[in-house]
């Protein structure tokens, strides 16, 4: 029984690793550090479908806030190691800033490429971007979970037969 629990846990871990890959359409996972008081790297270029994660690595409170209102992390406190993620599905250039430190030049941009020759838009243009919280639809997750749980149970059955 303990082995079954182990296998179920293993299946769940595998699911966590597989599901984002399945839903990402060749996107990448890119990390931008929030330092005192600048983004590193401030200007990045990623393929469509990429998820950008801002990770707080400083002592001051920071935000990542879209000029177009597409995302706003809210204040992330210094020393928290907190982070915020956003998935970019539509090509374009998305400019953002840190609310407490915009005046000190704490700004950045994410340029999203790809999507069949769509021209890259300047920041502030009306980008038809469906807001995405970085999670794949449950319609993908549930079958994947069922599949992997089944695989885990099957593996358990095979292993138990071998040990007998
Ligand atoms: Cu800041």
Identify whether residues 30 and 94 lie together within a single domain: yes
Give the pLDDT confidence score for residue 123 in this predicted structure.
45
Tell me, what's the pLDDT at 160?
72
pLDDT tens, position by position, 15-25: 555 555 444 45
State the residue range of the domain holding 1: 1-16+136-164
Å from CA of 94 to ligand 1 middle: 18
Higher pLDDT, 118 or 68: 68
Per-residue pLDDT tens digits for 36-78: 999 999 999 999 999 999 999 999 999 999 999 999 999 999 9
Q: How far is the CA of 32 from the centre of ligand 1 (A)?
A: 13
Taking the centre of ligand 1 as the mean of its atom positions, its distance from the CA of residue 95, in whole angstroms, is 15
Q: Give the distance (Å) from ligand 1 centre to CA of residue 82.
A: 13
Say yes or no: 62 and 85 in one domain. Answer: yes
Output the CA 67–ligand 1 centroid distance in Å: 15
In this structure, the answer to whether residues 7 and 60 fall within a common structural domain is: no
Q: Does 120 lie in the same domain as 54? A: yes
Domain co-membership, 118 together with 149: no
Q: Is 5 or 132 the better-scoring residue by pLDDT?
A: 5
- Whether the model clears a pTM of 0.85, i.e. scores above it, the answer is no
pLDDT tier, 145 (very low <50, low <70, confident <90, very high otherwise):
low
Residues 6+ apart with CB under 8 A from 20: 29, 51, 136
* Average pLDDT value over all residues in the chain: 78
The angle formed by the CA atoms of residues 68, 111 and 109, to the nearest 5 degrees, is: 55
Residue 103, preceding bond cis, omega within 30 degrees? no
Same domain, 39 and 69: yes
- Distance from residue 51's CA to the centre of ligand 1 (Å): 21
The verdict on 79 and 149 lying in the same domain is no
CA dihedral (108, 112, 66, 137) positive or negative? negative
In this structure, the answer to whether residues 48 and 96 fall within a common structural domain is yes
């Amino acid at each position: 029984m303990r082995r079954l629990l182990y296998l179920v846990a293993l299946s769940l871990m595998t699911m966590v690793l597989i599901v984002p890959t399945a839903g990402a359409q060749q996107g990448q996972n890119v990390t931008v550090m929030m330092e005192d008081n600048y983004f590193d790297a401030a200007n990045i270029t990623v393929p469509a479908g990429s998820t950008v994660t801002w990770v707080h690595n400083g002592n001051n409170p920071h935000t990542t806030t879209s000029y177009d209102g597409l995302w706003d992390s809210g204040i992330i406190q210094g020393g928290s190691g907190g982070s915020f993620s956003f998935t970019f599905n539509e090509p374009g250039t998305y400019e953002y800033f840190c609310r407490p430190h915009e005046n000190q030049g704490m700004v950045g941009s994410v340029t999203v490429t790809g999507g069949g020759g769509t021209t890259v838009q300047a920041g502030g243009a009306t980008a038809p971007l469906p807001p995405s919280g970085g999670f794949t639809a449950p319609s993908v997750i549930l079958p994947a979970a069922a599949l992997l749980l089944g695989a885990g149970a099957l593996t358990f059955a095979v292993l138990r037969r071998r040990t007998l």
